[in-house]
Structure 1
């Protein structure tokens, strides 16, 4: 069985090309590349243009990222997606770069991630409290990403229960969006028949039934959300009731909207494009997670909750790649997810032997390179959660 985590030390561009040569394929890529803040860029490569002049810092950053993103695309499966963390320094340039490498049609979302709820108080201007996640598919038609989560569903929204204790709520069968009406959706404007005493609903008359046509609260004609064939297929999921309308009592039809499907699966709710720290963790919680394993040895790690939300948008058997592995958060999150749900995810984390800053917590702890930090964390994860660790050079 493949270990949950593999760590490869080396230049990530060289490693990506080796992975392609070995025909390795990944279903999910997450990276948190260095953000260009004007300091020396760790992955400088050739930062001079064809004319020999030094590139501008944005141009240099794009020149470093382009071949790595192209190499990442080459090892992504048809069902794969890529998530890239970025801040305001390079967000605009990254969006254009990803459009170019993957195609504009492969863009899925630009997510705002609230990693610092208090906001950065140093310096002038606004107290920035967010970063971004840019999300692209390798192939939109085959991508396995499901942008929904069961964690966002509140059971309190389903106050009713059937005889078996199965929870549900009533939703109007009428389409409440006024863009949908007898003019724009004529096939969905028709009469149904319901008995408000028994609750029965059908598309043909029956004893005790009254005719019900869809109307808005002001009495204007509306349309149903379901077609006639669907109503015939699922009559037990509909109920006829008397309600107090704006113009007095009337009879209407409602859908029983179930919390759990007949197969026991919990419903899911679409993820919003703003992810709050209370949902995915913050830089502070990320520092605490890392400190508990190997000490306070990395300045701005990502919280495992952020990566676990990303993992939850993909199947439980994905192969994950992080070629800017930093402190090893992605590998840690994969192990946590597998331990929680029995998944068979695996993760390849790549990091270079970039020296840690002299006098830093990492250097004082004997971690001479950033790769040493990644390795130490993934070793601690394997020891604590299992799943193994394969270390490669």
Structure 2
């Protein structure tokens, strides 16, 4: 009977048990058995990240009965399909999957994910720049990017937060208040022409402002002008705030004289403040300066277990992905490779006090004969994964729970 057999030295499952889990075995066999892990305690997976074997035309790992006998792309997607379906079945309704991929299969993987998750659950296709110089091999362009395909388990329920505190810059808030706080001016007028007095009647009302002092109120006062929201062409518009909110927060509003296409006019602006918890939406291009590079990733692996992995992902990339979910998320990587996801979860927990549960699955695939990994004594790629996870966990005085698939 197939099972995930725990190592004898595993920490006991429970609140104080291991939050880093390693499973050795083919993910097609392992995925259906993951709900039995005591560390999960009946929880579903919130976040899945995979970096599957890229199909470069030179053959690929996991070329099993799911992928034989057909064309190159069909074989690759045939291999991946049942694994994605199994992972989807483990995910919580609010969960999401991030998949790294390059140009060779990005189109085919997107179509496959459309089928497995549903086209309506597509979230984003992110360009990730992991190689500043670009790959110089080949006759044409020096490729220096890959992709992240992001899909929700259910877009209506998706808990992914596409914002980050790290995206916020002081340069975006050029104004400085007398008390030292930074802010920027945003038009209080709704700039969407679909929002107008016909469609949003309650938001069409006058405010009163003095462009000399900047004071704004919902009632007339000495020196104030009556100001109605208008578009740049003079057409009637509406405010973004209700009259009740404007009455509650007059100090966050300012009256200014501006020059528009029809000449000078007086308008109302919101003071949009910079604060420590301010967040900004992530963009769909991630640079090596933001998330690390292949070079930094190699150095991270080398620092823990030696230079034994050719193209790992940097922990910065995974930490940005982890940041899109709460700090107690259940995270699954069923192509764990060098163990970047589990390592990144430990780093993220240390930074924000989180309690993420990371599950890393890797097959006991042999390392290449004559490779640095083999020379370092690693007979199987899964040994590298486990060694890195244990070394990273030991840095924080944490334990690793390991399991082996037994068929």
User: By the TM > 0.5 criterion, same fold?
Assistant: yes
Structure 1 match to 2:71? 56
Deviation at 1:160, TM superposition (A): 3.8
Greater shift in the superposed pair: 133-142 or 344-353: 133-142
Contact 1:326–1:351 at 8 Å: present in 2 too?
A: yes
How is 1:376-391 mapped onto 2 (pairs within 5 angstroms)? 376-391=387-402
The 1:48/1:349 distance shift into structure 2, 3 A limit, reads closer
Greater shift in the superposed pair: 96-105 or 173-182: 173-182
Separation in 2 of the partners of 1:113 and 1:90? 15
Structure 2 unaligned segments of length 5 or more: list them: 1-15
Separation in 2 of the partners of 1:48 and 1:347? 29
Structure 2 match to 1:70? 85
Separation in 1 of the partners of 2:150 and 2:100? 9
| CA-based RMSD | 2.2
Q: Deviations over 1:44-65 (max 9, x none)?
A: 221567xxxx111111111111
TM-score, normalised relative to structure 1: 0.91
Structure 2 match to 1:230? 245
Deviation at 1:181, TM superposition (A): 5.1
Deviation at 1:324, TM superposition (A): 0.3
TM-score, normalised relative to structure 2: 0.88
- Among 157, 167, 179, the residue aligned to 1:142: 157
How is 1:1-393 mapped onto 2 (pairs within 5 angstroms)? 1-20=16-35, 23=42, 25-47=44-66, 54-162=69-177, 164-176=179-191, 188-217=203-232, 219-243=234-258, 250-260=265-275, 266-393=277-404
SS in 1 for 2:351: helix
Contact 2:124–2:149 at 8 Å: present in 1 too?
A: yes
Q: Deviations over 1:229-252 (max 9, x none)?
A: 332333232122344556665432
SS in 1 for 2:398: coil
Deviation at 1:150, TM superposition (A): 1.0
Separation in 1 of the partners of 2:43 and 2:75? 29
Contact 2:67–2:74 at 8 Å: present in 1 too?
A: no
Separation in 2 of the partners of 1:143 and 1:215? 36
Q: Deviations over 1:193-219 (max 9, x none)?
A: 123355332333234321012234555
SS in 1 for 2:402: strand
Structure 1 unaligned segments of length 5 or more: list them: none
Deviation at 1:39, TM superposition (A): 2.4
Structure 1 match to 2:13? none
Contact 1:24–1:75 at 8 Å: present in 2 too?
A: no
SS in 2 for 1:83: strand
SS in 2 for 1:111: strand
Separation in 2 of the partners of 1:293 and 1:355? 20
Separation in 1 of the partners of 2:319 and 2:70? 37
Separation in 2 of the partners of 1:387 and 1:326? 21
Contact 1:4–1:334 at 8 Å: present in 2 too?
A: no
